[in-house]
Chains A and B, each alone.
Chain A
């Protein structure tokens, strides 16, 4: 046996997200193959496909639980949007004052950097709300797969909304495509996923596990 260790993050991902009845056997098989000379790239690819296959299998097997997670998650997300908006509005004025503005900067033009800062600030508040959503979904379903399905639905919804708005809304004169929101929006499903991960207990490993 060689002393080569497989990529740690990949192993952690596998342990964290693979919860099926054969999760331990899959981890052992991948380690055995890795130590017989497979590359880290091979290991990463196998881990990702194993996690996706496990989650897809879990979602298909527990359709009612997944549907409940999606409905519950979106209800919580909608309910949290009100306090989140209130926090964003209450933070806006002090932030503008701190930045040296007496009024909201124009939407476009040289002061768009200030607007970006406001966007980042409001995004951080929304991330906290998404984190709480993910945490609640995970506590209710006790399943990483359900949280991942909820986060995926969030990702699809947010980008679909951006696509629809960018096609249907008229562009103000001089405006360029808002790149920043494209990146900031990705943080929402990631926050939900992170919240869910922290809420779901890590699967127990065998006593001899390393």
Chain B
């Protein structure tokens, strides 16, 4: 079966999930991506991407307990599956191989 390419935002979400481990739900995932990319993250787009990753079986989700702090709404925790880990590793190897072939960027310090 042909391996699927991960989109840019999909890869960011996967890496944030790996970084956060067990505590990965919407708010910390968005904050982790915002902190590393410096760009605001729309929660709706984040969940759309998470849904797509779930459909690709790269991510699984589990519903937490409703809490009063969130107006009685439950969190949904996300976890990277074994297939997701392999996809992230494959993306890392692909990007690393491609970067090796790129000459040093203008103005970049050694």
Contact = CB atoms under 8 A, between A and B. Distances in A.
A and B are interacting partners: yes
Nearest to A46: B43
A149 to B, nearest CB: 17
B72 A50 contact: no
A54 B70 contact: no
Given A20-B51, A31-B70, A57-B51, A25 B44 contact: no
B51 A29 contact: no
A104 to B, nearest CB: 50
Interface in A40-89: 45-46, 49-54, 56-57
Contacts of B51: 20-22, 57
B70 A32 contact: yes
Contact of B44 (A24, A28, A54): A54
Interface stretch (B9-17, B73-81, B85-93, B97-105): B73-81
24 contacts: A20-B51, A22-B76, A24-B73, A24-B74, A25-B74, A26-B43, A26-B44, A28-B74, A28-B75, A29-B75, A31-B70, A31-B73, A33-B30, A35-B69, A49-B44, A50-B42, A50-B47, A54-B44, A54-B47, A54-B48, A206-B74, A207-B66, A208-B66, A210-B71
Given A22-B51, A29-B25, A208-B68, A46 B44 contact: yes
Contacts of B69: 1, 32, 35
B48 A209 contact: no
A27 B48 CA distance: 14
A13 to B, nearest CB: 12
A30 interface: yes
Given A25-B73, A28-B70, A32-B69, 20 more contacts: A22-B76, A25-B47, A25-B76, A28-B74, A29-B25, A29-B43, A29-B70, A30-B43, A32-B70, A33-B27, A46-B42, A46-B44, A53-B47, A53-B48, A54-B48, A57-B48, A57-B51, A205-B72, A206-B66, A209-B71
Given A53-B44, A53-B47, A57-B51, A25 B25 contact: yes
